A and B are shown apart, each in its own frame.
Chain A
Amino acid sequence: MDNLLQVTNGEAVSRSNIPNLDFNTFRQTILDETRHNGFIVQFFAYEDEEKTLKLIAVIRSGLHLYVTGCSLADEYPALTVENEKFHMFEREIAEQFGVHPKNHPWLKMVRYHENYRGKDDVFGNDYTEDIPGNYPYFTVEGDSVHEVAVGPVHAGIIEPGHFRFQCAGEEVFSLEIQLGYQHRGAEKLLEQPGMAMNRLPVIAESIAGDTAIGHSLCHSQAIEALAGLEVDEASKIIRSVALELERIACHVGDLGALSGDVAFNPPMNYFGRIRGEFLNLSMTMAGNRFGKGLVRPGGISFSVLAEHRKIICDKIASETPGITNVCDLLFSAHTVIARFENTGTVPRKLAEELGLVGYSGRASGLSYDARVTFPTEAYDTVKANVNARTVGDVFARASVRREEIMHSLRVIPELLSKNIDAQPIPFAPGYTLAPDSFVVTINEAWRGEVSHCLLTDKDGAILRYKVKDPSFHNWTGLAMSLRNQGISDFPLCNKSFNLSYCGFDL
């Protein structure tokens, strides 16, 4: 195990402690590690102070977290050939640093941008053109095969993404998803030299608007580890409560949307209202409905007192029966069950090969929940949630969400029962980050495992800031779930995953 350094979630370690292997050993080590029960948390490249390109892999295996690294040449034999989990990560590295993974089965750009090092583009694209050019889609040929292209502009108010279906009649053979339309350069913004420290959380919580708490928690924990900040117990509780409120609001909203997608109106409308109630609870604490501005390195930025706690607990007590009833209405309607069951199935084996996370993974039988495996904040006291149906279809993903809503509704009053007032941190905290350090943070946001990884240089400035949204793993799951399904079931499958476009595009 000398090739791997074991770390804990949110622990700052010196960069010099991270193994610097030769490429072949590195490749073999992480392939061995991810072959069975190992999953990728982070896999990215960065340039160190001497402008040498290096690779870092953070792998979770069981209850442990390992990190290892190596130097990278301009070309290397792709890992995707041996293990599908690396697919998107290798494409991302190729795009960001102009490195060519040889024999990669589907080497296409991820987000349409020039690489950071000014190297020749791996994909042969010219980014000075409005439409950069070279991106063939996977095609199926045959007499009755036809192609349907959807997006990036959609009929509803949703984010931009392009979906390319290869169909025979109503049946989908293959779906390819091309994203990148919302690439804002979030990682580069966070790495920008001279960026004021108090602006970083604002950028971090805007990575994905529906996961504001998830991303800002990851960011704050990373900064806290590097700056040696202590968070008091009351703030930890409130931060956990905020994450659970975000989870309830999103799950409730999505169950409503799933109901709307099969034209079952009443739950759609009821859940729409209930979602608003929970967004309003976030407003009680943070002053806005999506919890932005609440979590900051060192604690929280508002005081949450007995009166706030009472509002939250009272609202949960008054909404719980309603949620239970509407869930019963949705999950017992036989026409709804007929639509949800055996639709968009991702079997456990496939989910494991792709490395799905969050409720999409749990619905396929991968029980990984970062709140249990790598607890942060106040989660070490929280009892794990158990899911009953794990066959990987839309029904399973919907019922896992229902169970998570019920779980969160129990967890929040438990967390708040300690009755301690949380005080805000000072407005402009003065702190510096530890030099030459590495930290990785993991949190179970509503969609699944969010992870931020920070590397600092010898002056304590941010050398590399890597963000990973759970959607980065799960989009492939959606594409696979559509195989041999009716094309008219795509919106339903899509909503059952409800992945983030901007979280993927960064």
Chain B
Amino acid sequence: MDFTFSLASFLSFLVAVALAPLFMGVILKVKAFFAGKQGPPWLIKYYTLIKLLRKGSVYSTSTTFVFKLGPIVSFVTALMLLLFFPFAGLPPVLSFHGDVVILFYLLGLGRFFTVLAALDTASPFEGMGAAREVFFSALAEATIFVIIALFFRLSGSLSFAEYFTGVHAVNLWSESAALIFLVLIALFIVLLTENSRVPVDDPATHLELTMIHEVMILDHSGPDLALIEMGAFFKMLFYSSFVSCLLFPFHTGTPLFNVIIFYIIMTLVYATVGLIESITARYKMDMVPNFILTSFALVFFAIILTMEFVQ
């Protein structure tokens, strides 16, 4: 394990955490633009978080400590994820061989506790949402692990730091660009699925029966809801950074320049999410598995192309 503490790594982590809510505003602005509206202020998500943190939480008498645990675990696991990510080509705060596997299961742990908290309310909606969330993320997990296997073949490593800062860095500008292109599309589908975006889920709806993720957190309020929201922002930031790092190598030599390019690309990734939400409707619930499994098919094809009998 490499625990060398670097100020630059720590700063890049803090900047990412601080900017996570701002990028959600980008999606809202893009959607507002396509709807011919001004949209909410750029800092809307910060205002929402402050508002929620100043409120009290309401707990149903039928819930137990499990319900209170859900938001904390999902927040902490999402925050831990960011500690391991090499933003803008800077080495991450923490890194070890095999961290990718742990990290995706940490995400799974967060989801597990969100689901438990949802089931703890005994509301029929929340159980329904939990069933959908678990089913769809199980499908997305297949894609993620094929990607990890593929990256292992390409870079010979099992950590985020090595993927993007190592000698055999994986990105669209390397010799395996064609494979990475397939991975990018698949990863974007996973991003939409895991972060409950259109066309899989609709974060803006008020219709409980159609919700997937939102319905599970209906009973949370105040600071608990703020934790869940922040967890969601971090998760979104993680997947977007993942996509951004595949898009561009960030090897310009000047760290500051790297950081600027990185956040420009991040803005574009978020804007693309907003664009997709503006030009497509949601899929019917029974079409969603097909959509997610498309990502699996793409990366599966990519990994077949790396097999020796093809080469």
B283 contacts A148, CB within 8 Å?
A: no
Chain B residue nearest in CB terms to A337: B281
Separation of A339 and B277 alpha carbons in the complex (Å): 15
Closest to A273 in B: B36
Contacts A148-B125, A259-B281 aside, 10 further interface pairs with beta carbons under 8 A come to A150-B208, A155-B206, A260-B205, A262-B282, A263-B202, A263-B277, A266-B278, A269-B36, A270-B36, A489-B210
Do the beta carbons of B35 and A270 come within 8 Å of each other? yes
Determine if A263 and B281 form an interchain contact, defined as CB atoms under 8 angstroms apart.
yes
Which residues from 348 to 392 on chain A have a C-beta closer than 8 Å to any C-beta of chain B?
A: none
Of the residues B210, B278, B283, B287, contact of A265 by C-beta under 8 Å: B278
Is B286 positioned at the interface, with any CB of A under 8 Å from its CB? Answer: yes
Closest CB of chain A to B36's CB: distance in Å? 6
Contact A338 B207 (CB under 8 A): no
B287 pairs with A148, CB closer than 8 A = no
B128 touches A (CB below 8 Å): yes
Residue contact B284 to A261, C-beta cutoff 8 Å: no
Known pairs A263-B199, A270-B35; A489 contacts B277 (CB<8 A): no
* B interface residues (Cβ-Cβ under 8 A, vs A): 31, 34-37, 124-125, 128, 131, 198-199, 202, 204-210, 218, 277-287
* Interface residue total, chain A, C-beta cutoff 8 A: 34
Complex Cα spacing A345 to B224, Å: 41
Query: Distance (Å) between the CB of B201 and the closest chain A CB?
Result: 9
Asked whether, in the complex, the Cβ of A263 is within 8 Å of the Cβ of B209, the reply is: no
Establish whether residues B284 and A486, one from each chain, have CB atoms under 8 Å apart when the complex forms.
yes
**B281: which A residues are within 8 A, CB to CB?**
259, 262-264, 333, 335-336, 338-339
Q: Is the interface of A mostly helix, strand, loop or mixed?
A: helix
Contact across chains for A335 and B199 when beta carbons are under 8 A apart: yes
* Inter-subunit contact A486/B285 (CB<8 Å): yes
Identify the closest chain A residue to B201 (Cβ). A263
Residues of B within 8 A of A311 (CB): none
- In the A-B complex, list the 3 residue pairs whose CB atoms are closest, starting with the nearest: A269-B35, A263-B202, A262-B281
- Report Cα–Cα, A273/B36, bound state, in Å: 10
Say yes or no for A147: interface residue by CB 8 A criterion: yes
Question: Which of A149, A268, A338, A489 touches B35 (beta carbons < 8 Å)?
Answer: A268
Given A261-B207, A263-B198, A335-B199, residue A486 in contact with residue B35 (CB < 8 A): no
**1/0 per residue A91-109: CB within 8 Å of B?**
0000000000000000000
Q: Mark A304-338, 1 if CB is under 8 A from B, else 0.
A: 00000000000000000000000000000101101
Contact partners of B202 in chain A: CB under 8 A: 263
Chain B residues contacting A339 (CB-CB under 8 Å) are 281-284
A residues less than 8 Å from B283 (CB atoms)? 335, 338-339
List, in ascending order, chain B residues with CB within 8 A of A264's CB: 280-281
The docked-state distance in angstroms from the alpha carbon of A146 to that of B123 is 12
Give a binary string over A117-160; 1 marks a CB under 8 Å from any B CB, 0 the rest. Answer: 00000000000000000000000000000111110000110000
Q: Are B286 and A486 in contact (CB under 8 A)?
A: yes
How many contacts between A and B, using CB within 8 angstroms?
87
Residues of A within 8 A of B282 (CB): 262-263, 335, 339
Distance A265 CA – B141 CA, assembled complex (angstroms): 29
A-B CB contact pairs (8 Å), 30 listed: A148-B124, A148-B128, A155-B206, A155-B208, A170-B285, A259-B281, A260-B205, A261-B207, A261-B210, A262-B282, A263-B277, A263-B282, A264-B280, A265-B277, A270-B35, A333-B281, A335-B280, A335-B281, A335-B282, A335-B283, A336-B281, A338-B284, A339-B283, A339-B284, A486-B285, A487-B128, A488-B284, A488-B285, A489-B210, A492-B210
CA distance A264 to B205 in the complex (A): 11
Please report the C-alpha to C-alpha distance between residue A335 and residue B278 in the assembled complex, in whole angstroms: 12
A318 to chain B, nearest CB (A): 16
Does B280 lie within 8 Å of A155, measured CB to CB? no
A491 at the interface (CB under 8 A from B): yes
Q: Mark A268-281, 1 if CB is under 8 A from B, else 0.
A: 11100100000000
Residues of B within 8 A of A333 (CB): 279-281
Q: Cα distance A333–B206 when bound, in Å?
A: 23
Q: A86 within 8 Å of B by Cβ?
A: no
Is A490 interfacial (CB 8 A cutoff)?
yes
Complex interface: chain B residues within 8 A of A268 (CB) = 35
In the assembly, what is the distance between CA of A486 and CA of B128, in Å? 12
Residue of B nearest to A267 (CB): B35
Instruction: Give Cα distance in the complex from A342 to B283, angstroms.
Output: 14
CA distance A147 to B218 in the complex (A): 19
B278, A489: Cβ atoms closer than 8 Å:
no
Q: Which A residues between 56 and 88 are near B, CB-CB below 8 angstroms? A: none
Cα-based distance from A259 to B279 in the complex (angstroms): 12
Q: What residues on B are CB-neighbors of A169 within 8 Å?
A: 131
A488→B35 contact, CB < 8 A: no
Q: Which residue, of B34, B36, B210, B281, has the highest number of chain A Cβ atoms within 10 A?
A: B281
Q: Are B34 and A487 in contact (CB under 8 A)?
A: no
Q: Which residues of A contact B31 (CB under 8 A)?
A: 265
